[in-house]
Structure 1
Amino acid sequence: MDKSKIPTAQRAALSLLLDDHRNVKKLFKSFESAKERSEKEQIAQQTCHELTVHAQIEEEIFYPGLRGVHEKIDEMLDEAKVEHQVAKDLIAAIEGDLSGEMLEANYKVLSEYVNHHVQEEENELFKMVISKNVELGEMAEQMTARKEELMGAMA
């Protein structure tokens, strides 16, 4: 999704989420190209941390702020909630055994799963939010503050 095409009233909130999506996609690519096991473990740990923060921001602020706007959005939010739980289970498996033999398999499934979720969010949910002209200004401030708080707490 091209940030410049997002209406100003929605740009800050959606850009924060889009930036997270891009960052995690870069981590997925870095993991694939990493040669050393220790590097893969570090990238996996960073990915899990960033996805955990991102999901928490969406679940605490973004998704609740969209509830009730439109029936189709509510359906997408229900699906996203399930997708987040599956991602959390994979994150727990990765973090629980970073040096284990299932790291690469779990990480691969996580990356595929998250890429699917991101695509749906950007191509369906975000576009619906834009088309319904949902006001996100205050939400953007809350999301930014919460992200800073969580990144510091989980570091």
Structure 2
Amino acid sequence: MTTTTKTTTKPKASETPKDAIALLRADHGAVSALFEEYETAKSSKQKKALVAEICIELSVHTQIEEEIFYPAIKAALKDKLLVPEATVEHADVKDLIAQIEGIEPDGEMYDAKVQVLSEYVKHHVKEEQNEMFPKAKTTSLDMLELGVRMAARKAELLAARA
């Protein structure tokens, strides 16, 4: 009798399964770094490429939070405030992304919208990391299992965009 195993490549250190909060924190850090890079970008081409990456990262991040993380946290905490507020903030971020994707990267409105997007994201990240994540850690949720599900969904969403 032969057994078949799933063919996988050896995971890189960055592909080691992370718990849900570590995965979200890593996303927050990556997007923050992209916004910082945008601030020093000189050419419209550079700005457009960075913003495209920011928009993809944020779109995928918000989707995995809304599909997997938030429902689990809402149920575990019996939350009626943190998750709904975060969902409203996501709607604002998505609206700005749609506006930014519809204009050319030259001009003050483009820079202004990217700046406001950056500020919204910083505010949202601060609330998640200072309020939601500490409360999430107090639950009986299996954060590693949640992280594995979120990472798989993230990979699926990124592959669909490629």
Find the partner of 1:125 among 122, 127, 132: 132
Runs of 4 or more consecutive aligned structure 1 residues displaced over 6 Å after TM superposition = none
Q: Please give the alpha-carbon distance, in whole angstroms, between the structure 2 residues aligned to 1:138 and 1:98.
A: 41
Find the partner of 1:66 among 50, 70, 73: 73
Output one character per residue of 1:86-133: Cα deviation in whole Å (capped at 9) or x when no partner.
Answer: 000000001111435321011000000000000000010000111234
| TM-score after normalising by structure 2 | 0.84
* Structure 2, unpaired ranges of 5+: 1-17
Equivalent residue pairs, number: 144
1:154 aligns with 2:161: yes
Match of 1:76 in 2: 82
RMSD: 1.4
- What is the identity, as a one-letter code, of the residue corresponding to 1:74? K
Output one character per residue of 1:26-69: Cα deviation in whole Å (capped at 9) or x when no partner.
Answer: 00100001111110111011100100000000001100111222
**Do the aligned partners of 2:19 and 2:146 also contact (CA within 8 Å) in 1?**
no
Q: Please give the alpha-carbon distance, in whole angstroms, between the structure 2 residues aligned to 1:147 and 1:132.
A: 23
- What is the identity, as a one-letter code, of the residue corresponding to 1:130? K
Matches within 5 A, 1:1-155: 12-71=19-78, 73-99=79-105, 101=107, 102-155=109-162
Of structures 1 and 2, the larger Rg is shown by: 2
Deviation at 1:76, TM superposition (A): 0.3
**Do the aligned partners of 1:57 and 1:143 also contact (CA within 8 Å) in 2?**
yes
| TM-score after normalising by structure 1 | 0.87
* Structure 1, unpaired ranges of 5+: 1-10
